[in-house]
Amino acid sequence: MLDNNQLLRFTTAGSVDDGKSTLIGRLLYDSKSIFEDQLEAIESTSKKKGHDGVDLALFTDGLRDEREQGITIDVAYRYFTTPKRKFIIADTPGHIQYTRNMVTGASTANVAIILVDARHGVIEQTKRHAFIASLLQIPHIIVCINKMDLVDFSEDAYNNIVSQFESISSKMLVKDVRFIPISALLGDNVVNRSQHMSWYQGAPLLHTLETMHISSDVNKVDARFPVQTVLRPQSEDFRDYRGYAGRVASGIFRKDDKVTVMPSGFTSKIKSIDTFEGEVSEAYAPMSVSITLEDDIDISRGDMIVRSNNKPEASQDIEVMLCWLNNSPAKPRAKYTIKHTSNDQKAMIKEVVYKIDINTLERNSEDKDLKMNDISKVKIRTTKPLMIDSYRENRTTGSIILVDDTTNETVAAGMVV
């Protein structure tokens, strides 16, 4: 039985006019996840624009610029719930100049829905979206082959695109790829099964999202607890209480576990795991808890409690795949603040190893300038060690962001190689 409180995050990506906004509108509309006043507002806007029915894309294209141009620019988050699951949708842009928005929207997703126009097949934008999804280690990809109504619901057209996509996904590290032929405009295979494509035996999109197994997406092996703050209430009831509060990044912690505090290397045993509701026997990601230890150890924000027999690497020299997010290019050997879990340090980009041409996926080791939307492999040096895992093993302890100290803007996001 599925836990109806389980949250699934998915991101949508596709080329301009592939129908992302219409698809999300259809999902919300057919699953009855839209408030009546929203529906009335959109019905009247659709009439003003001269549409016969409801323009489903208006449910998501909230920015006025987008409504006027009919394109998605920013990352729009939408929330909806069915009896089986809760969902957060990150609707990300398709344009090449918005690569950074796609990286931002997809970084926490369980599933990436990549739309392909049935008339055009796999194009360069599709390859780019598939590459970013694999780079971000999104565990599941659903390729929705949209606008099937415009190719007469042809099974051959569908099979052709499936083989095109499989030839590129075979070169990428994606574990689970599924294909669904849909018409977002007419609703075929979105929430309800299509009457026009009896040759397709799989489930519609919503049923696939509701039943997809995502519990194993979280790393349950490597126990990592970044400390956010130290709790010392010193009240009558908790005179000697010293708890280390934070969110479990991965793995499972239990009472009496032998743990090591990094980077100091001191060891102890877990005395208790406390939550707002009271003590619990175990904590797992993404629970927020307070852990107390048997021994008095000097622990502060940015330290990490790990299991003694399974430690991350503590390093000041790290290699990351970096996506540059800022309008201003990277300054050579400039100092940035690097944020990794609850740990903030000063850091410098020592070397740009290569940049990736996002269209051909080829490496360019000549061009070393980092500009907006560039994705590159870089070497970073930090002032103090960070407790890191590779991003492939652990999406929480394997990710970093860089912040410009002068403007306080987030300039880059990175994945530890």
Lay out the sheet containing 176-181: strands in order across: 76-81, 86-91, 7-14, 111-117, 140-146, 176-181
The b/e string for 63-72 (b: 16+ C-beta within 10 A; e otherwise) is eeebbeeebb
This prediction has a pTM of 0.84
Contacts of residue 249, defined as CB under 8 A and 6 or more positions apart, other chains included, come to 224, 225, 226, 285, 286, 341, 394, 396, 397
> Tens-digit pLDDT profile for the chain (417 aa)?
445 568 999 998 887 777 888 898 888 888 887 767 777 777 787 788 777 777 777 666 554 444 455 444 456 778 889 999 999 988 776 565 667 777 877 778 999 999 999 999 999 888 888 888 888 899 999 999 999 999 999 999 999 999 999 988 887 877 799 999 999 999 999 999 999 999 999 999 999 999 999 988 889 999 999 999 999 987 887 878 999 999 999 999 999 999 999 999 999 999 999 999 999 999 999 899 999 999 999 999 999 999 999 999 999 999 999 999 899 999 878 899 999 999 999 999 999 999 998 777 789 999 989 998 889 999 999 999 999 999 999 999 999 999 999 999 999 999 999
Tokens of 277: 């509701």
CA atoms within 13 A on the CB side of 150: 14
Q: Is 187 left (phi over 0), alpha (psi -120 to 50) or beta?
A: left
**Are 297 and 258 spatial neighbours (Cβ–Cβ below 8 Å)?**
no
Structure tokens belonging to residue 391: 């991003």
Structure tokens at 98: 């918005």
